[in-house]
């Protein structure tokens, strides 16, 4: 399991670092919201899910798509706007999807997929299946009205859903303290009768273990559960760069998160030769994904009129 978690973390980190390098060339045709620093949330949770469990995410969805098993080449091609992309080049980085592996979609509109996830959980319950839904959203997403409506309905119907609030402390450049009268997201989940817990330091091993336990309860009909996972976005809100010069946050604030980096932590737990082998394999995979994206054809002009609502 350690190797599996490390590979998953390292793939996301290295692919996003590669995107950050390529971005200034304008080959990537969509805005990118990097998850660098936050990978462990998706990796820890998804490692404890089954293939037939499904996830819904946000525009900051690279980590979730890969952690749930989405194809790296189709993802890279999607960012390049190519016909071989996972939405045939129409969705870009913010709308990754791979229904075959249960990555049911993401949206640029904050909060929207929380309701989609609850609807899917309702369908699972109606069909009597024992799969579950994991709904990922940000601390800002918890301020949307749809968050309240969705949690209420999930609690009322005792739906098989795990809510995961990735609390990175900011919505764009505004800190949680400057946005919320009572900055306690778990308290709001509990108000609907949903058991909620705050998980500090996006510890990937803890997240994996905890999700395993909670998923078993949800499958047994225990109803919804809520994680608020404390995490930190290392790069700017959107784009490949750092943004400490903007002044809304400090490098000192980031330092403990960078020192507790889960990619480095998990890597240090492996034998050096195994770590290096995984790293080599991932570097080759990332390189191949970028070549695939680059060499893939553009969509045909007629595609402008298909699958567009
Ligand atoms: C409904 C809606 N309102 C506002 C925006 C503009 N917007 C884009 S990202 C974002 C911040 C969301 O923060 P959070 O949910 O914490 O996610 P993070 O970017 O930190 O991962 C906002 C306000 C939007 N896309 N959709
Ligand atoms: Mg946030």
Structurally, the chain folds into a number of domains equal to 1
Pocket probe mutation, ligand 1, options 135, 140, 232, max atoms within 8 Å of Cβ: 140
Pocket probe mutation, ligand 1, options 39, 115, 147, 171, max atoms within 8 Å of Cβ: 171
- For 239-248, what is each residue's pLDDT tens digit? 999 999 999 9
| Structure confidence at residue 14 (pLDDT) | 98
Q: Which atom belonging to ligand 1 lies closest to the Cα atom of 172?
A: 11
Count of residues in the chain: 309
The span from the CA of 8 to the CA of 118, in Å, is 27
Is the predicted pLDDT of residue 308 greater than 90, yes or no?
A: no
**117 part of a folded domain:** yes
Closest C-alpha to ligand 1, atom 3: 110
CB-ligand 1 contact for 64 (6 Å cutoff): no
Give the Å distance between the CA of 168 and the centre of ligand 2: 5
Packing angle of the helix pair 112-126, 145-156 (nearest 10 deg)? 10
Residue of 121, 119, 96 lying closest to 215 (CA atoms):
121
- For 246-285, what is each residue's pLDDT tens digit? 999 999 999 999 999 999 999 999 999 999 999 999 999 9
CB-ligand 1 contact for 146 (6 Å cutoff): no
- For 174-183, what is each residue's pLDDT tens digit? 999 999 999 9
* pLDDT (mean) for 195-222: 97
**307 part of a folded domain:** no
* pLDDT (mean) for 37-61: 98
**49 part of a folded domain:** yes
The span from the CA of 209 to the CA of 217, in Å, is 13
Interacting residues of 216 by C-beta distance below 8 A, sequence separation 6+: none
Give the Å distance between the CA of 303 and the centre of ligand 2: 34
Percent of the chain with pLDDT over 70: 100
Nearest ligand to the CA of 60 is 1
The span from the CA of 114 to the CA of 101, in Å, is 19
The span from the CA of 171 to the CA of 237, in Å, is 8
- Name the pTM for this structure: 0.98
| Structure confidence at residue 201 (pLDDT) | 87
Is the predicted pLDDT of residue 58 greater than 90, yes or no?
A: yes
Pocket probe mutation, ligand 1, options 172, 234, 243, max atoms within 8 Å of Cβ: 172
**170 part of a folded domain:** yes
Closest C-alpha to ligand 1, atom 17: 138
Residue 198 sits at the vertex; the CA angle it makes with 192 and 201, to the nearest 5 degrees, is 155
CB-ligand 1 contact for 138 (6 Å cutoff): yes
- For 75-94, what is each residue's pLDDT tens digit? 999 999 999 999 999 999 99
48 phi and psi angles, rounded to 5 deg: -95, 0
**71 part of a folded domain:** yes
* pLDDT (mean) for 95-115: 98
Q: Count CB-CB contacts under 10 A for residue 122.
A: 17
Q: Count CB-CB contacts under 10 A for residue 23.
A: 17
* pLDDT (mean) for 109-131: 97
Q: Count CB-CB contacts under 10 A for residue 300.
A: 10
The span from the CA of 166 to the CA of 203, in Å, is 12
Token code pair at residue 250: 């400090």
Token code pair at residue 111: 């909060």
**164 part of a folded domain:** yes
59 phi and psi angles, rounded to 5 deg: -60, -20
CB-ligand 1 contact for 140 (6 Å cutoff): yes
Domain with 113 in it: 2-296
135 phi and psi angles, rounded to 5 deg: -110, 115
CATH code: domain of residue 79? 3.40.50.970
Is the predicted pLDDT of residue 15 greater than 90, yes or no?
A: yes
CB-ligand 1 contact for 288 (6 Å cutoff): no
Within the chain, residue ranges assigned H as helices are 2-22, 39-46, 62-67, 72-79, 112-126, 145-156, 185-191, 204-217, 251-259, 262-268, 272-295
Q: Which residue has the tokens 């069909």?
A: 127
**152 part of a folded domain:** yes
Residue of 35, 14, 30 lying closest to 235 (CA atoms):
35
**304 part of a folded domain:** no
With left for phi above 0 and alpha for psi between -120 and 50, is residue 195 left, alpha or beta?
beta
Pocket probe mutation, ligand 1, options 32, 35, 64, 110, max atoms within 8 Å of Cβ: 110
| Structure confidence at residue 309 (pLDDT) | 78
| Structure confidence at residue 175 (pLDDT) | 98
Token code pair at residue 252: 């000192």
């Amino acid at each position: 399991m350690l190797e599996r978690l490390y590979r998953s973390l390292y793939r996301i980190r290295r692919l996003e670092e590669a995107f950050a390098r390529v971005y200034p060339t304008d080959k990537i045709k969509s805005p990118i919201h990097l998850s660098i620093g936050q990978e462990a949330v998706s990796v820890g949770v998804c490692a404890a899910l089954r293939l037939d469990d499904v996830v819904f995410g946000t525009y900051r969805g690279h980590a979730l798509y890969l952690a749930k098993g989405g194809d790296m080449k189709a993802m890279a091609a999607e960012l390049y706007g190519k016909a071989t992309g996972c939405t045939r080049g129409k969705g870009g980085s913010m709308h990754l999807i791979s229904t075959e592996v249960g990555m049911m979609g993401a949206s640029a509109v904050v909060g929207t997929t929380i309701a989609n996830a609850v609807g899917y959980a309702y369908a699972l319950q109606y069909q009597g299946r024992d799969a579950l839904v994991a709904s990922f959203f940000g601390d800002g997403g918890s301020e949307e009205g749809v968050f309240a409506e969705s949690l209420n309905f999930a609690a009322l119907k005792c739906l098989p859903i795990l809510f995961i609030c990735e609390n990175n402390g900011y919505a764009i450049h505004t800190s949680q303290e400057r946005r919320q009268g009572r900055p306690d997201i778990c308290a709001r989940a509990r108000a609907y009768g949903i058991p909620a817990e705050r998980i500090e330091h996006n510890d990937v091993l803890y997240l994996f273990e905890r999700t395993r336990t909670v998923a078993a309860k949800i499958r047994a009909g225990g109803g919804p559960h809520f994680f608020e996972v404390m995490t930190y976005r290392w790069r700017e809100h959107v784009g490949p760069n750092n943004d400490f010069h903007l002044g809304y946050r400090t490098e000192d604030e980031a330092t403990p998160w960078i020192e507790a980096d889960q990619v480095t932590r998990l890597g240090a737990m492996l034998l050096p030769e195994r770590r290096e082998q995984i790293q080599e394999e991932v570097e080759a995979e990332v390189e191949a994904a970028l070549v695939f994206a680059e060499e893939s054809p553009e969509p045909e002009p007629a595609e402008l009129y298909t699958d567009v609502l």
